Chain A
């Protein structure tokens, strides 16, 4: 016991603290200082320390809440999952590591929801992606090709839209792809979870599942309030990287061919106060010079090329998004290395632009990605593993829960313009009460490479959240839910599915 404990009015020792907390029970959590829960074995009463491992003693970890569904990760997958679970009547908790929602779509500065329509111009992904865009629209915070132009091959329009954004055109056809505002999106997503009645914990890192054999029973999360647990009937892993998988004993794969897009991390940043008019004038009159300059930047260790914001009043903002090959995107060593390298090369790049490229003379770096851009890591081995064979097939699966336009494979895409996603690709083999709704869905590297963007993850999340609520409502296992009912619910929510 601390001698000092009596000396100061509000001083609390660990033991007293824990005792207080325990006496007050779970309901005390919300009451501020007194409600902070630290586990009973707050001290890491280590039994043995060696240079290779430490032995942590048995500990009691406080359950701060129970729920029907707990979703780990508030990125696109988690947003989709939490919203639909809550809207379907499930008591839903969302745990997010950062201080905002939206994941890569906001904090990662991947401010683009691409490939919503197929080549014919038909919108295939709607649901919550569409809802997000419509809410942004009300605040003039999104930009995309006009609806009447989706699918057009008119060379003039194609050229116009291509010039506007890399994401607007594939195979000389205009697509529905939307640039979105990161900050307004954070606000809108928070409105959506509040309206749906989702209980959200920000600044909370969901680190491990609570397991009982092969049954998932909840999640442990770390926060400024200490280590705590949430018990739930269904856990949805929307961590992006499948962070819960190794702890559940689920199988997963992680091989990625180095040539694939998803093999790269991104370190994105925005440059502000750019005179784009001046730049465009220079560009059109000095094409050769600018090519040479881009070569020179790369030689200096920087990064050539950028995208424009396209959003209203953001005419002086450009977005730079260098890619970084790496050994693993779930290795803390690699994440740190790329952050350091990214910042170094950012300065090289910006110094060069400022000095040499007209329009950038008064520019400054306004923002680096609050989350590093991650693209590919663990992929669960689920009840169905998506591969390129499924991309080549034009036949819906019985348990299709999403239709994704296939637009990034050139002529192959023209042959099979949509891909059907089965519910089973979110169910880990052998593990119960767990769904994976993020880019860790069950797929080989190639299928993952094409379908792990923002709208894809939202769509997977929508299906997972809806399925979880249905399983709980009908009191059946996640594997045994009535798929037709699930599909009907998704359609009602605005998800586009085959008839």
Chain B
């Protein structure tokens, strides 16, 4: 193969260079881009109609770490920050160009229900830290602390009108609307401060397995296929993407009537005159109801939420739900994206034409990530089932408390074991793929829940590495003490 131009590099020379320079060369720009030594994957031995046989290949290890976290959404954020703060050398791999997952790119800009019905805050930790950092930039909105738990009718009405999340069940609660863009910035600050090594634009596709032991992760990026070796792998992909490759058991069944059975295609409409809209709404309740019916009949989506954030008085948020066959089927994801955009145009056209206040509005943004709610759920050492909601006694290995809508049992305890895949070593699942039945998953897989799972997983991973013990055998009391020190609310 000939050498073309000063910087023309043939594959063979390229690979040779890379190999000679070794792993340290990775950061040096062009010369440091790593392709696997068998860059030519497709020394395909055999192509049949239904499969291709890929040859043995050497994949470059670009880094080793104590903990590698796959996915920079709420679970991954919690895991990476807490692992790094606990002293573990931590790598975070994120597919998109931002952190925050559903909470930012998914436009699910809401951290709901952090208080129990008495108004006591039971979810804090990194969730609270995120909100406090947003506060400094006027980037969050939530009911005043002195109102949490109140059932005062006026207050309930006020907050309910402000957001459907602020006063569920006729009681004011602590739920926060958050700014997506500012959040992306703050989360990245948190990673940097904690010393997490982050790879954005990186798709963690497969675990590296040695029997039942996870040894690292393979990821794809513009730099080619590479591997990160680690002592603990945390799957925070949301959908449990690593599970099928790990050989872990998982469940996928979801009843159609559940919230988590739906994908979301969210978008923002800007330049809305909400005052004008409110006036119209106040005096034309019946007409408006009729209009919403009409939007729906046309194939659009009625209803929206207001941003509530400072200076965003002209932004509203639409969040249609889409029933689907499976949320990790590329066919279904594509179908819903196409359908979502079509119906977005129908909806906005109708609003613009017919609803006062929307005349000069425009679509400013559709979700940079499709809204996913339910994919794979790992079968862990403990499967949290709906019967557990009735249990009033905390688990011995409780690592989080979640407020529950069940009045008789207002607190739900989450065990560490629901993060440990059965029969697989060195791996934790810290995202909505935690071990649970569909009902539990439906109730407890929101942003702040996932942050909690992440915080417990990251802390546990660091502890296991420090102690030199298996993830299953760590001292639970120490884990709980560490979590409390980090601001996590736990029993006792």
Chain A positions within 8 Å of B, measured between CB atoms, are: 2-5, 7-15, 17, 25-26, 29-33, 35-36, 38-40, 42-47, 49-63, 66, 98-100, 107, 181, 183-184, 186-187, 190, 194, 200-205, 207-212, 217-218, 220, 222-227, 229, 231, 241, 243, 246-255, 269-270, 272-273, 311-314, 316-317, 326-336, 339-340, 343-344, 346-347, 362-372, 377, 381, 444
In the complex, the answer to whether A247 meets B39 with C-beta atoms within 8 Å is yes
Partner of B249, one of A2, A63, A367: A2
A8 surroundings in chain B (CB, below 8 A):
249, 251, 379, 383
Mark out the residues of chain B between 1 and 49 whose CB falls within 8 Å of any chain A CB in the assembled complex: 1-2, 4-12, 14, 22-23, 26-30, 32-33, 35-37, 39-45, 47-49
Let me know if B478 is at the binding interface, CB within 8 A. Answer: no
Let me know if B368 is at the binding interface, CB within 8 A. Answer: yes
Q: A186-B341, A190-B338, A339-B98 are in contact. Are A331 and B30 (CB under 8 A)?
A: yes
In the complex, the answer to whether B344 meets A187 with C-beta atoms within 8 Å is yes
How far, in angstroms, from A312 to B359 measured CA to CA in the complex?
11
Let me know if B405 is at the binding interface, CB within 8 A. Answer: no
Chain B residue total in the interface (Cβ 8 A) = 136
Partner of A241, one of B23, B207, B222, B331: B222
Chain B positions within 8 Å of A, measured between CB atoms, are: 1-2, 4-12, 14, 22-23, 26-30, 32-33, 35-37, 39-45, 47-61, 64, 96-98, 105, 179, 181-182, 184-185, 188, 192, 198-203, 205-210, 215-216, 218, 220-225, 227, 229, 239, 241, 244-253, 267-268, 270-271, 309-312, 314-315, 324-334, 337-338, 341-342, 344-345, 360-370, 375, 379, 383, 422-423
In the complex, the answer to whether A42 meets B244 with C-beta atoms within 8 Å is yes
A38 surroundings in chain B (CB, below 8 A):
244-245
How far, in angstroms, from A311 to B10 measured CA to CA in the complex?
46
Enumerate the 7 nearest inter-chain pairs by beta-carbon distance, A residue then B residue, closest first.
A327-B29, A32-B325, A255-B7, A10-B253, A211-B42, A224-B328, A370-B368
CB distance from B340 to the nearest CB of A (A): 9
A255 surroundings in chain B (CB, below 8 A):
5-7
Q: What are 7 residue pairs bridging A and B, where the CB atoms are less than 8 Å apart in the complex?
A: A3-B422, A13-B247, A54-B59, A204-B334, A210-B41, A251-B2, A366-B268
Q: A53-B61, A273-B314, A316-B271 are in contact. Are A187 and B97 (CB under 8 A)?
A: no
Chain B residue nearest in CB terms to A252: B8
How far, in angstroms, from A43 to B491 measured CA to CA in the complex?
39
Contacts between chains A and B (CB distance < 8 A), count: 405
Q: A63-B51, A364-B311 are in contact. Are A246 and B181 (CB under 8 A)?
A: no
How far, in angstroms, from A218 to B181 measured CA to CA in the complex?
38
How far, in angstroms, from A129 to B64 measured CA to CA in the complex?
46
In the complex, the answer to whether B366 meets A225 with C-beta atoms within 8 Å is no
Q: A14-B244, A332-B223 are in contact. Are A49 and B205 (CB under 8 A)?
A: no
Partner of A343, one of B37, B184, B205: B184
Q: A2-B379, A187-B341 are in contact. Are A202 and B333 (CB under 8 A)?
A: yes
Partner of A247, one of B40, B332, B360: B40
In the complex, the answer to whether B337 meets A184 with C-beta atoms within 8 Å is no
Chain B residue nearest in CB terms to A221: B330
